[in-house]
Amino acid sequence: MTGITAWVEQATWPAVIAATARLAESVTDPDIALVYAADDDARAVAGGSVRGLLGRRRNDDRVHAATQAAAEVVLADALATLARPAAVRVVHGRPERAVLAALDGMDWLVLARDGDLTRLGPHSLGPHTRFVLDHAPCDVVLVWPDSAPGIDTAPPPPPPGAP
């Protein structure tokens, strides 16, 4: 059995699912898990501003429902697009730690670049993605969310003699 984890996120999941399907074709007996890291941080930010009102009124139920709906929509769409049996899982807490914990015993991780793709370079990986990439206990497939950039987008080489 070959364990494959696909880290699906808003906006970038179609590319991840496409790569996961291709990978599943090429390995024996793929065992696929789709992992979504819930945006607890954003929810906590919204909760914090309620605290700023010194206790008058709250909104956490509705924000909680919205973040939960976000997870369900992404996972359902991703599962339907994959058209293969797969386990789905929502993880909570710090996204980079939670995703890393979900990789225990896996053979492959498929994830997408999620950084600033208008300026390629170090920032084309978001901080959470960077952490998972650095510490993944398995092989990693890193895909472009859109089409890959042309070879001519790389910056020119440093001039001769530069440090």
Partner 1 sequence: MTSGLLATGASAALLAGLLAFAALRPRDLPEAVFAVPAAVVVVATGMLPLGAAEDEMRRVAPAVAFLAAILMLSRLCDVLGLFRAAGRAMAVGGGDPRRLLTRVVVAAAVVTAVLSLDATVVLLTPVVFATATRLGVRARPHAYACTHIANAGSLLLPVSNLTNLLAVAASGITFVRFGLLMALPWLAVIAVELVALRVRFATDLSVGTRRPAPPDDAPVPVFAVAVLALTLAGFVVASLVHVEPAWVAAAGVALLAWQAVRDGRTTPAAIARDADVPFLLFVPALAIVVAALVHHGLGDAIGRIAPQGHGLVALALWCLLATLLANTLNNLPAMLVLLPVAAPAGVGALLATVIGVNVGPNLTYTGSLATLLWRRVLREHDHDAPLAEFTGVGALATPAALVAAIVALWAGLQVFGGGA
User: Which residues contact partner 1 by CB under 8 A?
Assistant: 9-12, 39-59, 62-63, 65-67, 69-70, 73-74, 92-94, 114-118, 123, 126-127, 145
Shortest distance (Å) from residue 69 CB to partner 1: 5
Shortest distance (Å) from residue 16 CB to partner 1: 12
DSSP calls for 32-65: EEEEEE--HHHHHHHHHHHHHTTTS---HHHHHH
Choose between 24 and 35: whose C-beta lies nearer to partner 1.
35
Shortest distance (Å) from residue 130 CB to partner 1: 10
Shortest distance (Å) from residue 111 CB to partner 1: 13
Q: Mutual orientation of helices 60-82 and 40-52 as an angle, nearest 10°?
A: 170
Choose between 127 and 137: whose C-beta lies nearer to partner 1.
127
Choose between 57 and 162: whose C-beta lies nearer to partner 1.
57
Choose between 93 and 149: whose C-beta lies nearer to partner 1.
93
Contact yes or no for 108/4 (Cβ under 8 A): yes
Shortest distance (Å) from residue 29 CB to partner 1: 32
CA trace torsion 86, 9, 112, 3 (10° rounding): -20
Choose between 44 and 154: whose C-beta lies nearer to partner 1.
44
Sign of CA dihedral 104, 110, 27, 137: negative
Longest dimension (CA), the chain: 65
Sign of CA dihedral 76, 70, 98, 93: negative
